[in-house]
Amino acid sequence: MASELIEALEILEKEKDISRESIIGAIETALVTAYKNQYKKKDSILAAENVFAKVDEETGEFFVYAEKTVVDEVENSLLEISLEDARTIYPQCQVGEVVRLAAESREFSRIATQNAKNVLMQNLREREKDNVFEEFQSKEKGIATGIVQRINDQNITINLGKADGILNENEQVKNERLRPGERIKVYVLEVRNTKKSLRILVSRTHPELVRKLFESEVAEVKDGTVEIMAIAREAGSRTKMAVWSNDPDVDPVGACVGMNGMRVNAVVSELKGEKIDIINWSDNPAILIENALSPAKVISVLADAEEKTATVIVPDYQLSLAIGKEGQNARLAARLTGFKIDILNETQAADILDEIYQGDFEEEEEYEDAYEESSEELPESSEEEE
């Protein structure tokens, strides 16, 4: 029996990935439960503090002990023992001492044993769940690889190995069609350990999924040489990402793109063809906004850092490109930079400037006279300096 217990411990330790100490602790708890159920009386309450069990890890032998106080007259047989009975085991004991008495496990009834088995299995399940929780808690705010298991009307179950992740409807990419058995990467939003089960929420739409994918593909991002400063994403369609290099000899955009686009293409493939624009980060808001509106060309940017607003002027033929289809390019640029961006073409900008400079003059002659007067006030040396 002892050897069988040791063998069972080894199997559980390997299959369930539960430490031997945890398994032995669960067995000891189950033995205490069996003892309590065996000697429990309807009119009395057993104090669990005086009962404990011990399992020998090497031999597999186990014992259940009850500690009782030596008294002259026994009032509670569960907690006390008479001096006469105690001295049959401990001849030198005295009244007031606490002695340890062993209980024979074979005396346990069938019901007590069954209850102990249930307690043991419950404890093992709890420890297994705790182990899985600790493992996935370390992956929270990171990525995990899983296999699409079940697709319901709203939620998709992703098998992550030892546990299942839930991909809610609002975390699914609208135009992405996943198939059962398909292997995908997901961003782990939250790992929650409830009394009933372990709940893992995952996402395919979170911007941080893009960051983590680049960390796995780009060594310079993983080691911190290249930093991803900001990400704006419309999942399934387009992502804009601003990068910065801490090493002047390393091109951050080139590092993320990779040779022949190998690195960025790996991320695009994982995201089912989602387009990714990678731009250089700048602490200068005007330069950052200009970069963010790529691939459109920009003539000038007037940025107000305090108000977080900016006016951008682009060539007439670049206006639609700067705004993008359904305003997507401008919208992502605004999210990436944190600025409210107003885009004007050259014609619109010229009309506004004309209104500013000519609005106070009713006649063209007055405008020309005022222009000449303002020109006369310019320093004479300005032409020489040019």
Instruction: Spell out the domain ranges in the chain.
Output: 2-134, 140-200, 206-281, 286-380
Residue 372's pLDDT is: 57
**Residue labelled with tokens 């369609």:** 237
φ, ψ for residue 263, nearest 5 deg: -70, -50
Residue 276's pLDDT is: 96
Instruction: Name the pTM for this structure.
Output: 0.68
Alpha carbons 192 and 208: distance in angstroms, whole number? 20
DSSP per residue, 257-280 = H-GGGHHHHHHHHHTTT-EEEEEE
**3.40.50.2300, 3.40.250.10, 3.40.50.720, 3.30.1480.10: CATH of 2-134:** 3.30.1480.10
Residue 365's pLDDT is: 55
Residue 43's pLDDT is: 35
DSSP 49: G
Alpha carbons 325 and 257: distance in angstroms, whole number? 24
Q: Do domains 140-200 and 286-380 have the same CATH topology?
A: no
The CATH architecture assigned to 206-281 reads 2-Layer Sandwich (3.30)
**And the tokens for 87?**
């001295």
Half-sphere exposure of 373 (CA within 13 A, CB side): 6
pLDDT lower than 50: segments of the chain: 1, 42-48, 361, 374-386
Alpha carbons 134 and 137: distance in angstroms, whole number? 5
Residue 123's pLDDT is: 73
**241-278 pLDDT, tens digit each:** 999 999 999 999 999 999 999 999 999 999 999 999 99
**And the tokens for 127?**
């420890």
SS3 labels along 206-247: CHHHHHHHHHHHCHHHHCCCEEEEEEEEECCCEEEEEEEECC
**And the tokens for 340?**
């409210």
**CATH level 3 topology of 140-200:** OB fold (Dihydrolipoamide Acetyltransferase, E2P) (2.40.50)
Residue 181's pLDDT is: 93
Beta strands 309-314 and 51-55, pairing class: unpaired
Alpha carbons 51 and 34: distance in angstroms, whole number? 11
- Confirm or reject CATH 3.30.300.20 for domain 286-380, answering yes or no: yes
**Residue labelled with tokens 């700048």:** 282
The answer to whether 157 touches 164, Cβ cutoff 8 Å, is yes
Residue 103's pLDDT is: 65
